[in-house]
Chain A
Amino acid sequence: MSLELVCPAGNLPALKIAVDNGADCVYMGFKDNTNARAFPGLNFDQASAREGIRYAHAKGKKVLLALNTFPQADKWQRWQAAVDNAAELGVDAVILADPGLMQYASRTYPKLRLHLSVQGSATNYEAINFYHEHFGIQRAVIPRVLSLAQVEQVVKNTPVEIELFGFGGLCVMVEGRCSLSSYATGESPNTCGVCSPAKAVRWEQTAQGLESRLNGVLLDRYGANEKTGYPTLCKGRFEVNDETYYAIEEPTSLNTLEMLPQMMEMGIAAIKIEGRQRSPAYVEQVTKVWRAAIDAAKRAPQAYNVNPAWMAQLGKLSEGQQQTLGAYHRPWK
């Protein structure tokens, strides 16, 4: 099986740049809360989706469509229509999280390929096989919580292809099982496709420093020489027993370049790059580095070494300029 590079496309320019720089697949969403990056100014309308699919297919690349939020009872129709639209547009797969929606998609469009989104929270093979048996999912994206040994155990016990996150923003919580954002703001990834939404963020210069607040809750306070970051709820500094620190997670990016040969060896089907909310320039640089790394690892897995230039390049693009192997590396936990 050949390892695929799956790159983020927040808009048409990013999609084209990803395709031009070595993505095997791009993933995108519609312009509403049917996907987990429902940010203002992002995503695809009918015309841009059509053009994006045409562009990618003309170059032999695939387009995946994320419909990975959970339809709420009275708004079901919007998600169902999005599945219809995806099938009509001719995407190569839809990435779903909700079992009800998977059932609809598999019954209505038996030929439409289904991927289980990371938002589906499947962290073990019994869960993945559940989705396979009932809806015929062909690939699952694993939450960023398993160690590499645990991932291997999953791969050995399921016929479903496994996709792992390789680079980008790091969710410290199990995706699909985090309501921290709605606790503070009323909007969560599951229901609204957002986490710590920008409209709830306020920056304020005070006597004690620059403060970031999320719907009034103080997430962090920065000294004059400290670097600021986007105020994601779990990446703020808080007080626990009179100690102030990053109590949940530091602002950092996941980077698994050094694990690439191991991931290929265990039969991972695809590596996903996070970041549909990032700029086309970001997508270009990350895609180039990962293309080069995957090609090198495929050519000579034994001789594979992480090129310092790749790390330097990705380092510049990382949150807080910090990188981690995350849960793949046991001590992180």
Chain B
Amino acid sequence: MKLSLGPILYYWDRDTVYDFYAAIAASPVDIVYLGESVCSRRHELRTDDWLDLAGMLASAGKEVVLSCQALIESESDLKALRRIAGNGLFAVEANDMGAVRLLAEAKVPFVVGPHVNVYNTQTLQLLAGLGAMRWVMPVEMSREELVSMQACRPQGMQSEVFAYGRLPLAFSARCFTARHHNLPKDDCRFSCMSDPDGLLLKTREGQPFLVLNGIQTQSAAVYNLVGEIDAMRASGVDVVRISPQSAHTAEIVQQFRTAIDDPAAAREAALRMAELMPDQSCDGYWHGRPGIEQSAAANVRNAA
């Protein structure tokens, strides 16, 4: 199984992003997804900067995929999308059917991202025929459903599972971070930059519940399937995805690498990760349960 690093979902300043990928270049990750997939207003890095980083990572031996924005609304969003689709060098992760259309037209091999709704083989076959080479299953999909999908997966289609990080659960036209600061979205003052792991939302009894990340809403708990590596392997998963966080990402990558290479070390890796996560872990979706739940056997935080 290969290890991938998903796109950075938060808004970090330019230097931080460059430093982050310098560390990633030296980490044991195989595939790196790059680009702004959440909000078109974020501009610390321009498309040329992302392409620059892509070149650096490729020369460090990483497979690079450019990720498209999930919510594409305006003509300028489409313009940015066309530029990425036509980049001519790197594969692209489509997170919207508009992107699928452009990539299929350009005959560029593409990855079907987690925000394109693929819940059945018929849809996956259709996308395979249009040039999809890999698909990331929707975060709410269970292992059991994945196994059904794998039973008749299109020839050559790789499967990828979002296996670590706060879950991207929803997108809106509204910016919840700007709303928190009583700012209009058009004059958001890029307030999401002060929350490198998102803005925590708790229930009125103090339970960490969600994280506001601009127009995206995430889980507060960290989805962590490090204890399910064997199950993923048995289900024919080709790529295991880690979603970046502001601290310890390279260490998380290392722990997953250890667990993939040596199943006997998986439990120890889980224990070490307890200290590296921004919040408690969850794994409900994988087990066909509410996403927020954590199965008893693999409770990373409790195990620590």
A124 to B120, CA, bound (A): 24
Could you tell me the distance between the alpha carbons of A103 and B120 in the complex, rounded to whole angstroms? 12
A133 CA to B148 CA, complexed, in Å: 29
Q: By the criterion CB–CB under 8 Å, are B74 and A182 in contact?
A: no
By the criterion CB–CB under 8 Å, are A239 and B199 in contact? no
Determine if A177 is an interface residue (Cβ-Cβ < 8 Å): yes
The answer to whether B75 touches A331 (Cβ under 8 A) is no
A131 interface contact, C-beta 8 A: yes
Interface hits, B140-177 → A, CB 8 Å:
140, 145, 148-149, 167, 169-176
Cα A217 to Cα B221 in complex, Å, equals: 14
The interface on chain A, measured as residues whose beta carbon lies within 8 A of the other chain's beta carbons, has a size of 70
**What is the CA–CA distance of A313 and B142 in the complex, to the nearest angstrom?**
45
Say yes or no: B72 contacts A127, CB within 8 Å: yes
Asked whether any CB of chain A lies closer than 8 Å to the CB of B25, the reply is: no
Measured CA separation A176–B97 after assembly (Å): 12
Please indicate which of the listed interface residues A74, A97, A188 has the most CB atoms of chain B within 10 Å of its own CB: A74
**Is A73's beta carbon under 8 Å from chain B?**
yes
Does A310 interact with chain B (Cβ within 8 Å)? Answer: no
Q: Knowing A98-B120, A146-B173, say if A333 contacts B184 (CB, 8 Å).
A: yes
Give the chain A neighbours of B219 by CB distance below 8 A: 183
A100 touches B98 (CB 8 A): no
A186 beta carbon closer than 8 Å to chain B = yes
Task: Mark interface residues in A240-252 (1 if CB within 8 Å of B CB, else 0).
Answer: 1101100111000
**CB < 8 Å: which of A120, A125, A127, A215 contacts B290?**
A215
- Bound-state Cα–Cα, A238 to B201, Å: 7
Question: How far apart sit A332 and B175, CA to CA, in the bound complex (Å)?
Answer: 10
Alpha-carbon separation in the docked complex, A129 to B104 (Å): 13
A145 contacts B120, CB within 8 Å? Answer: no
Which of A72, A188, A217, A243 is the one whose CB lies under 8 Å from B203?
Answer: A217
A180 with B149: in contact, given A98-B117, A121-B117, A130-B101 (CB under 8 Å)? no
Q: Is the CB of A100 within 8 A of B123?
A: yes
Q: When the two chains form their complex, are residues B170 and A239 in contact, meaning their CB atoms are under 8 A apart?
A: no
Question: CB < 8 Å: which of A129, A145, A215, A217 contacts B172?
Answer: A145
With A71-B120, A99-B126, A129-B101 already in contact, the answer to whether A183 and B203 are too (CB < 8 A) is no
In the docked arrangement, what's the CA distance between A188 and B142, Å?
Answer: 13
Q: Are B71 and A123 closer than 8 Å at their CB atoms?
A: yes
Q: How far is the CB of A73 from chain B (nearest CB, A)?
A: 4
| B196 sits at the interface (CB 8 A) | no
Residue in chain B with minimal CB distance to A76: B120
| In contact, A217 and B119 (Cβ under 8 angstroms) | no
Cβ–Cβ contact A74 & B148, under 8 A: yes
- A-chain residues with CB within 8 Å of residue B120 when the two chains form the complex: 70-73, 76, 98, 100
Residues of chain B lying within 8 A (CB to CB) of residue A215: 290
A294 within 8 A of B: no
Complex-state Cα separation, A201 to B252, whole angstroms: 37
> Which residues in A have their C-beta under 8 angstroms from that of B107?
none
| B78 and A124 contact, CB distance less than 8 A | yes
Instruction: Determine if A305 is an interface residue (Cβ-Cβ < 8 Å).
Output: no
For B, the interface residue count at a CB cutoff of 8 angstroms equals 68
Contact mask for chain B residues 98-128; partner A; CB cutoff 8 A; 1 contact, 0 none: 1111100000000000010101111111110
Q: Does any Cβ of A come within 8 Å of B263's Cβ?
A: no
Chain B nearest CB, measured from A288 CB (Å): 30
Which residues in B have their C-beta under 8 angstroms from that of A221? 204
Q: List which A233-284 residues lie within 8 A (CB) of chain B.
A: 234, 236-241, 243-244, 247-249
Q: How far is the CB of B197 from chain A (nearest CB, A)?
A: 14
CA gap between A248 and B125 in the complex, in Å = 37
Given contacts A100-B120, A100-B122, A100-B126, contact A185 B97 (CB under 8 A): no
In A204-221, which residues have CB < 8 Å from any B CB?
215, 217-221
**What is the minimal beta-carbon distance from A95 to any residue of chain B, in angstroms?**
15
Interface residues of B in 212-269 (CB under 8 A from A): 212, 217, 219
A321 in the interface, Cβ–Cβ < 8 Å?
Answer: no
**Other-chain residue from B81, B125, B127, B207 in contact with A217 (beta carbon distance below 8 A):** B207
Max chain A Cβ within 10 angstroms of own Cβ: one of B71, B199, B285, B289: B71
Contact between B100 and A130, CB atoms less than 8 A apart: yes
Chain B residue nearest to A220 in the complex (CB): B204
Q: Is the pair A97, B101 in contact by a Cβ cutoff of 8 Å?
A: no
Interface residues in chain B, defined as those with a beta carbon under 8 Å from any beta carbon in chain A: 70-75, 77-78, 81, 96-102, 115, 117, 119-127, 138-140, 145, 148-149, 167, 169-176, 179-180, 184-186, 199-207, 209-210, 212, 217, 219, 284-285, 288-292
Rank and list the top 8 A-B pairs by shortest CB-CB distance, nearest first.
A100-B122, A126-B98, A145-B173, A100-B123, A73-B148, A127-B98, A130-B101, A183-B291
A selection of 19 A-B contacts at a CB cut-off of 8 Å is A70-B117, A72-B148, A100-B120, A123-B96, A124-B96, A127-B72, A173-B172, A176-B117, A177-B71, A177-B171, A179-B167, A180-B169, A180-B210, A182-B140, A183-B292, A237-B204, A238-B203, A238-B209, A248-B176
